[in-house]
Amino acid sequence: MPSLAGQVIVVTGASSGIGLATARLAARQGASIVLASRDEPLLRRLAREIEETGGQALAVRTDVAVEAQVEALVDRAVARFGRIDAFVNNAGIAAYSTLDALPLAEHRRIFETNYWGLVHGSLAAVRHFRSRPGGGRLINVGSVNSDFAIPLLSAYSASKHAVKGFTDALRRELLASDPAITVTLIKPSGIATGFPQHARNHLAEEPRVVPPLYAPEIVADAILDAVRHPRREIVVGAVGPALAVPLALFPRAMDRLLAAVVPPLSKSRNPRTRTDNLDAPTGEALVHYAHAPGLPFSPYTAMQKRPGLTVLLAATAVIGAIASRRRRSRYDPRR
């Protein structure tokens, strides 16, 4: 799929943040968009917005935690557009709390949406992709917290660990049985969306995402790049990779560091938000974080989207360094 023009893309969690940024960007590039979230009035307004600018969009109220609603989402998308080319599992919720203070019902609700919702979407998409020639693209949105958990977002981190395990297992099974169905895991670092305002908050202060923050459009671009060019995994931002090596080499020291640094960095002096979307949508189509714009570019993410060019540039730099060293050695007066 070198172009998105004419492609049919389903996006869950499409009423805000990364999902909304992805839907708008895909529509601008000519894709037909199926918008899914729990907020039907807001979805209908967003669909009209896309259609008024020349695009095609379908709004489908969907709670991804309910398997029957996800199956109905696929049926309505196929009834409207005839097929689905790519399915983006993006819906997610969170709660800021220590684990001992987090009500078990909220812990379960996070898993119902973040993990089971993604399972429902993945399996429904795979069933559809198997029914048509050419397969399809499955894009699952995890997090850098798929690899390392952080305090105060512990249930969220655990759900994203589960997302990574499920996605990796599904990819390996499909490589054996249905190689035309590709599976990509997107792992954003801290993203400047309304995540802190939408999360349930059990802290005394208003929470914030630990910086540095990246613009949600970078994640949207990574998702759509995976639709055009299948990739195993794309990490948005360099925070995860930067922590991976010290976590592997010095796990106990990193436990102490994260325990000491993350809680104070997760709290802000911003006005306290009184609503959240854990049990019901907020009705706000927020893409960006109100208190910080986010970095507009990630060199590390750009390199992952152009691996061939990255290897070529690295090889060129190494060859240039070797040649320069040889020239200096040749004219070294001490020789």
What DSSP letter does each residue of 41-110 carry, written as one string? HHHHHHHHHHHHTT-EEEEEE--TTSHHHHHHHHHHHHHHHS--SEEEE-----EEB-GGGS-HHHHHHH
Asked if residue 3 is part of any domain, the answer here is no
Which residues sit opposite 56 in a β-bridge? Answer: 32
CATH code, domain with 208: 3.40.50.720
Are the C-beta atoms of 237 and 214 separated by less than 8 Å? Answer: yes
The tokens for 91 are: 């819906």
Q: Does 15 reside within a domain?
A: yes
Name the residue range of residue 332's domain: 307-335
59 vs 36: CA distance, rounded Å: 6
Is residue 152 domain-resident?
yes
Residues 291 and 196 in one domain: yes
Whether 216 and 327 share a structural domain: no
75 and 150 housed in the same domain: yes
Element (H, E) at 158: helix 154-177
Contact yes or no for 29/53 (Cβ under 8 A): no
Task: Identify the sign of the CA torsion 165, 169, 174, 176.
Answer: positive
Q: What is the pLDDT of residue 323?
A: 57
Quote the CA–CA distance of 38 and 17 in Å, as a whole number.
14
Task: Flag whether 2 is in a domain.
Answer: no
Tell me the pLDDT of the chain (335 aa) as tens digits.
679 999 999 999 999 999 999 999 999 999 999 999 999 999 999 999 999 999 999 999 999 999 999 999 999 999 999 999 999 999 999 999 999 999 999 999 999 999 999 999 999 999 999 999 899 999 999 999 999 999 999 999 999 999 999 999 999 999 999 999 999 999 999 999 999 999 999 999 999 999 999 999 999 999 999 999 999 999 999 998 899 899 999 999 999 999 999 999 999 999 999 999 999 999 988 899 999 999 999 999 999 987 765 555 445 545 655 656 666 666 655 55
Q: Does a structural domain hold residue 233? A: yes
- Of the residues 96, 115, 156, 289, only one is catalytic, namely 156
Q: Is 156 a catalytic residue?
A: yes
Q: Kindly state whether residues 128 and 249 are assigned to the same domain.
A: yes
Tokens of 78: 């196929």
By C-alpha distance, which of 28, 70, 66, 76 is closest to 50?
28
Q: Residues with Cβ < 8 Å from 64, sequence gap 6 or more? A: 12, 13, 36, 70, 89, 91, 113, 116, 117, 118, 120, 121
| Number of domains present in the structure of the chain | 2
Cα 157 from Cα 96, distance rounded (Å) = 11
